[in-house]
Structure 1
Amino acid sequence: MLLEIGLEEIPAHVVTPSVQQLAQRVKEFFKAQRLDFGQLQVYSTPRRLAVKVLDLADKQPDIEEEVKGPAKKIAQQADGSWSKAAVGFTRGQKMTPDDIYFKELKGTEYVYVKKFIAGKTAAAILPELKSVVAAMNFPTMMRWGSNDFKYIRPIRWITALLDQQVIDFKLLNITTGRQTQGHRFLGHAIELAAASDYPQALETVYVIADAAKRKELIKQQIAQLAQQHQWDIVVEPDLLEEVNNLVEYPTVFAGSFADKYLAIPDEVLITSMRDHQRFFYVRDQQGKLLPYFVSVRNGNQKSLNNVIAGNEKVLTARLEDAAFFYQEDQKLSIAQYVAKLDHVMFHDKIGTMAEKMQRVGYLSHALAGEIGLSATEQKDLSRAAAIYKFDLVTGMVGEFAELQGVMGEKYALLQGETPAVATAIREHYLPTEAGGKLPATKVGAILAIADKLDSITDFFAADMLPSGSNDPYALRRQAAGIIRICLAFDWPLAIKPLLELVAKTAQQQPALYQKIQPAHVNEAAEFMMDRMRKQLETQQNAFDIINAVTAQPLNSFTTIAQAAEILETHRHDADFKQTIEAAGRVLRLTRKADLPDKQPVQPDLFENPTEKQLNQAVTAAKTTGTLEDLYQQLRNLRAPIEAYFDKTMVMSPDQKLQQNRLAQLQQLAGLFQSFGDLTAINVK
């Protein structure tokens, strides 16, 4: 069976997920219709989404099912005749009362009939594929003509065949047929004699419908060019995927640009080629950027020189702009750019970019104290925080927004800033995507944390919180970035103390923090802890362990991650259940107690040896060492805890004894707090 949806050109980034969606919907359709099939092959180009199904069953299997009706006492009247309920039941099953038999179920007899359903043929079922085509959804949708129907792009044809037979249905004004379209400029319409002719028939009209084959052709042609010229052509997977989804018949070619543009930083040249023109850039064998580019034409070799010349002209115009901005930007000092930030809004509900930089400066200084930077590192951090957004008002970043931070580093070095300051300016944006590269330097990492923390609290204070999939200010990514940086550097930073640091800074600098209230800090804390949970999910931790270790926002990100790892490691130990249950009894009792922190334990009030033994064990336990050491101590405490509860009534009527015993358990519970809330772990 073949189903091909012909469209106007689809955006490249939508092609692959769309054909995967179509394949999934077709599989679900066959499953719902009880039609067995063998292999399902997918095909896609910018103008078509297609699936070909091999070994499709001729028909549904016949089924015989037993259908239960009313109870016998309801189905039969006193004289043995059938009641209206029985007659209505059989009529509904398209049968008669003569087909009824009785079966007992849990002591009661019920009416049953055996119903035979003949399987429909595939040919009779497949016209319902119309619902599959119509149900497709896309990130952006459009209407065309006078229809209310919405799709990614206008549908121009639908090819649907079962072997040699057309699968007949109509969507809007388009009737299915055996005709498909070749390449827009090189090909023409063709008719397929059978579904099995696809996709080979399309190759005769310059369409390579198999995306994997098309991609391999591009890679082979690039490899030939590289070998011919001794080039290192940088083929990034994401760019290759995008280019592959822009063409139906790929022809790789190389172009060039003037050597003079190599004076511009490599990042600018690469951005112009890769991000703006979808070109692959070229290096020599030593890694030096060369004045060449490689691109892919949607067509054959005919008039290829004209195509090369046109692409060179477009790239040269862009590089000429870049060269102009690069020279002009160097005419102003960093101080002059920083002064311009007084007039650049970070957000109209929050304030200017200059005010944000001031807030980040205070936060950076406070974080440096928490981390313990050297005097030189603190000096570099202070300078970086004072200027780190200056490149936003340069001409280059105005033209190439992707280069913010990168140009800040370049211009900072040109104007004599230390390498540490320049690097921090670039690194404060990292990570720029989920799982992306992190800052490599301490100065850059602290600046990145301070900048992201400020953004989160700013937007929470302005009541601009992420909701559902809507996160226009990338606050989830920024929270995840803070967590990943802290984990990478093994810094003892925790959610609640971090946000309390913001609140403390807000009290000291009220003019810069006019809107932040304690409620915002609490909301932001829960938001960031949710990101910590997501981080732990990516590391394949069980949900109950995640809930346990994230219950204590005073614990550092590193402690939380290590606690989850240790609990997962020991989960299948023979004594894990008993260890967690013993700790859980302690935690549940102390949670209900209304005691001042660190109330002293009075040994003279002990009434039995188990109290003394537990007290000695807790006193001997060390709160220093690794979390693994702490878990082993928790494990060793299990026996004295169990003996204690066997012999001791904690909630004694004697208030002095009760308070002393709760104080003893509270002291014990303090040893467990690095693991969060162990009662959340399911050990049943």
Structure 2
Amino acid sequence: MAKDFLLEIGIEEMPARFLGPALAQLKELAAKTLQEQRIAHGDIQTYGTPRRLVLYVKDVAENQAALEKEVKGPAKKAAYDVDGNPTKAILGFIRSQGVGLEDLVVRNIGQVEYLYALKREEGRPTAQVLAEICPGLITGLHFPKPMRWGNLELRFARPIRWLLSLFGEEVIPFELAGLTAGRSTYGHRFLSTGELSVLNPTDYFTKIRAAYVLVDPAERKEIIWQQVQELAAAEGGVVEMDEDLLDEITNIIEWPTALCGSFDPDYLKLPAVVLVTPMREHQRYFPVLGKDGKLLNKFIAVRNGTKAYIEIVTAGNEKVLRARLADAAFFFEEDLKQPLAGRVNGLKKIVFLEGLGSIADKVDRIGALADHLAGELGADEQEKEKIQRAALLAKADLVTNMVYEFPELQGEMGREYALRNGEDPVVAEAIFEHYLPRFAGDRLPETLAGRVLSLADKMDTIVGCFAIGIQPTGSQDPYALRRQALGICHILIEGKIHLSLKQLIAWAYQGYGEEVELKHDLAQVTGEIEEFFKQRLKGILSDRGLSYDTVEAVLAAGFDDLADVVDRGLAVASFRELPAFGALMTAFNRANSLAKHAASTDIQEARLEHPSEQELYSRLSVLQTEVQPLLENRDYATALQRIATVQKPLDAFFENVMVMVEDEAVKNNRLALLRRLVDLSKSVADFSKIVVEAK
């Protein structure tokens, strides 16, 4: 009979961000291990709180499935002598495999017959196997920052304090970290006392809940959000969904109870971001908004416990927030005593990166690069002045008290202070927007000044890092260069901004001047950064549903214009849906293979001897006239449709004309004809990268 299996790893409280990935790993590892061990099972679920990781496998078979396998032996002709008696070769083989002659079968490999030993390994009791694999299920988990404790060599998220392992009602004993797995668990740290003895997996879920532990993260999350909404509605307000905050709170508590607190309404005179940031980032509170979308002097917190003494807990949270808001108000008022422009000199004292000067130096470089970009993007003189003013003030809020205390407010406070200092709203918005996008899915800068400064800031950082040998490796990207490169890609692509990546790199590199000693020259830096952006583009194109070979084909045709790549990729994907695409690719690939031998693209019309090559030349001449304007207007879909009309003359050419003839002049002329055709199509994509499935 099948039985349920439950494994609980009891630990000290681990960081909220560890829980989700750990549960996903545990489920995947369990499924893989059980399959490898030939143990049939039903649904696999994982649950967890900051103090426990739980694996629950339903309907686990009581025994492994038997293993049947064939082991290759000697060739049949070498296994028996002329009299039909077994040779030493076959006798040694069956002895090594523990089988008899009757367990051998013949299998053909090519023209040769070989003997195979049929072996059957009976399955062992599942309980024995589980005892062997459970330690690996635990030690196979990986965490961003594992720790050791005591004199143990084991590394884990946090010290392991107990292990529970039950197969039905049977304990699966195994040892790890100086502990022996048993049937005992523990409830809520403060609301439950002593060990809980568990009879079986079903009993576990009953008792753990009675001990004030909601072990299912999904259930905790749903309960928290429901309580938060109900409390907000009772105050006549609403709470905006904040998935990150909700997930964090879900992963730091075991028994949620929401509470609503208040603060002095005088604080509402401060900018909303000054209030929301301490609440959300430091206290893990949900801000409450009125029906008009403005902040109320209310917040909602979630305690790890019951409603007992909730008034005292609420008062304590209000006291903590009151101190936070008082600090924020003080910092804000102090910062307003000096305008942003007066803080720019303070940036000289802040190092940007060792070897790349100060933040003040970076501001100068951003201004110079922004000047190039503004010209390329068609900014008029008035817009250029505003861009330069925004570049000067872009980093000034880094030396304010508010940003020093709350670094996540960089840009936000710069915009706020700029407006209060009387700066142009365009300048203020650009100060904020130059940090966009800050994370995956974040909004992009919407103003011209914001786009220019964002591109300049990000490209300056990327080029500087690559120039001194700082590049992302594997999972390590301490300066978020991947995120910044993706930001540049999305700004250019979504904004339909056509700029040369190579030129951007060159401008940024020149900005460092002779004052900074760079390890790598412009050529090396350009090559490395181009490859870096190529990898980002692969991800972007794949996310848009393009197949891997379409992506390769488009990138092989060039990607210096990042915004152009997506348009070409979508056009090629649509082009591949044409019914005649497969036949066209067959002819194209043949042309491409021959075109590689062409010495030039010069075609002498007088040497076109056969009507088929004359027709192909005539069609190609018309095509070049038709397609070039389409390419210039980036109408790639129509351009490809025009190019596709060459199929019939191209097929006729290959049917009637021998390309590789002995006459060098004629051969080179025909190769040049094919080369010119291939080059025309490569303006959009290198179709030799396309894989055409046989039908």
Same fold (TM over 0.5): yes
With 169-178 and 614-623 compared, the bigger mean Cα shift is at 614-623
Q: CA deviation at 1:213?
A: 1.6
Aligned counterparts, 1:490-639, within 5 A: 490-502=496-508, 505-506=510-511, 510-511=514-515, 516-553=521-558, 555-585=560-590, 587=592, 592-595=597-600, 603-609=605-611, 610-611=613-614, 612-625=617-630, 626-639=635-648
Instruction: Pick one of 289, 299, 304 that aligns with 1:293.
Output: 299
Alpha-carbon displacement from aligned partner over 1:262-317 (angstroms, at most 9, x marks no partner): 22211121111111111111111111111111111111122222222222222222
What is the aligned partner in structure 1 of residue 158 from structure 2?
Answer: 153
What is the aligned partner in structure 1 of residue 393 from structure 2?
Answer: 387
Q: CA deviation at 1:92?
A: 3.0
Matched, 1:193 2:202: no
Q: Tell me the distance in 2 between the aligned counterparts of 1:676 and 1:343.
A: 49
Conserved? CA contact 2:534–2:559, under 8 Å: no
What is the aligned partner in structure 1 of residue 475 from structure 2?
Answer: 469
Conserved? CA contact 1:161–1:167, under 8 Å: yes
What is the aligned partner in structure 2 of residue 21 from structure 1?
Answer: 25
Structure 1 residues 497 and 526 mapped into 2: Cα distance closer, same or farther (>3 Å)?
A: same
What is the aligned partner in structure 1 of residue 15 from structure 2?
Answer: 11
Q: Tell me the distance in 2 between the aligned counterparts of 1:65 and 1:485.
A: 57
Conserved? CA contact 2:249–2:302, under 8 Å: yes
Instruction: Pick one of 320, 323, 335 that aligns with 2:326.
Output: 320
Residue identity matched to 2:144: P
Matched, 1:91 2:95: yes
With 528-537 and 549-558 compared, the bigger mean Cα shift is at 549-558
With 117-126 and 614-623 compared, the bigger mean Cα shift is at 614-623
What is the aligned partner in structure 2 of residue 404 from structure 1?
Answer: 410
With 129-138 and 273-282 compared, the bigger mean Cα shift is at 129-138
Residue identity matched to 1:208: L
* DSSP 3-state at the match of 2:145: coil
RMSD of Structure 2 on Structure 1 (CA):
2.5
Q: Tell me the distance in 1 between the aligned counterparts of 2:560 and 2:687.
A: 14
* DSSP 3-state at the match of 2:646: helix
Q: CA deviation at 1:377?
A: 2.6
What is the aligned partner in structure 2 of residue 678 from structure 1?
Answer: 687
Conserved? CA contact 2:339–2:417, under 8 Å: no
Q: CA deviation at 1:79?
A: 5.4
Residue identity matched to 1:288: K
Conserved? CA contact 2:350–2:358, under 8 Å: yes
With 85-94 and 402-411 compared, the bigger mean Cα shift is at 85-94
Conserved? CA contact 2:276–2:287, under 8 Å: yes
Residue identity matched to 2:62: D
Aligned counterparts, 1:6-155, within 5 A: 6-77=10-81, 80-97=84-101, 99-100=103-104, 106-128=110-132, 129-155=134-160
Alpha-carbon displacement from aligned partner over 1:542-563 (angstroms, at most 9, x marks no partner): 1111111112436522321111
Structure 1 residues 339 and 116 mapped into 2: Cα distance closer, same or farther (>3 Å)?
A: closer
Q: Tell me the distance in 2 between the aligned counterparts of 1:69 and 1:500.
A: 65
* DSSP 3-state at the match of 2:475: coil
Conserved? CA contact 1:355–1:512, under 8 Å: no
What is the aligned partner in structure 2 of residue 425 from structure 1?
Answer: 431
Structure 1 residues 162 and 90 mapped into 2: Cα distance closer, same or farther (>3 Å)?
A: same
Residue identity matched to 1:543: Y
Residue identity matched to 1:116: R
Alpha-carbon displacement from aligned partner over 1:6-54 (angstroms, at most 9, x marks no partner): 1111111111211221122121121111111112232211101112222
Structure 1 residues 592 and 491 mapped into 2: Cα distance closer, same or farther (>3 Å)?
A: farther
Matched, 1:244 2:244: no
Alpha-carbon displacement from aligned partner over 1:109-161 (angstroms, at most 9, x marks no partner): 44344433322222222212222122222111111111111111111111111
Residue identity matched to 2:646: L
* DSSP 3-state at the match of 2:550: helix
Conserved? CA contact 1:34–1:61, under 8 Å: yes
Structure 1 residues 316 and 422 mapped into 2: Cα distance closer, same or farther (>3 Å)?
A: same
* DSSP 3-state at the match of 2:627: coil
Conserved? CA contact 2:131–2:173, under 8 Å: yes
* DSSP 3-state at the match of 1:675: coil
Question: Identity, % of aligned pairs?
Answer: 39
Q: Tell me the distance in 2 between the aligned counterparts of 1:514 and 1:332.
A: 36
Conserved? CA contact 2:212–2:255, under 8 Å: yes
Instruction: Pick one of 341, 350, 368 that aligns with 2:347.
Output: 341
Conserved? CA contact 2:245–2:284, under 8 Å: yes
- Structure 2 residue ranges without an equivalent (≥5): none
Conserved? CA contact 1:495–1:529, under 8 Å: no
Q: Tell me the distance in 2 between the aligned counterparts of 1:682 and 1:533.
A: 17
The TM-score with structure 1 as length reference comes to 0.93
Residue identity matched to 1:477: R
Q: CA deviation at 1:355?
A: 1.8
* DSSP 3-state at the match of 1:55: strand
* DSSP 3-state at the match of 1:253: strand
Q: CA deviation at 1:228?
A: 1.7
Residue identity matched to 2:643: L
Q: Tell me the distance in 2 between the aligned counterparts of 1:620 and 1:575.
A: 24
With 189-198 and 129-138 compared, the bigger mean Cα shift is at 129-138
Conserved? CA contact 1:618–1:668, under 8 Å: no
Conserved? CA contact 1:559–1:674, under 8 Å: no
* DSSP 3-state at the match of 2:221: helix
Q: Tell me the distance in 1 between the aligned counterparts of 2:348 and 2:119.
A: 80
Q: Tell me the distance in 2 between the aligned counterparts of 1:554 and 1:214.
A: 47
Residue identity matched to 1:517: L
Q: CA deviation at 1:577?
A: 2.5
Residue identity matched to 1:376: Q
Structure 1 residues 90 and 646 mapped into 2: Cα distance closer, same or farther (>3 Å)?
A: closer
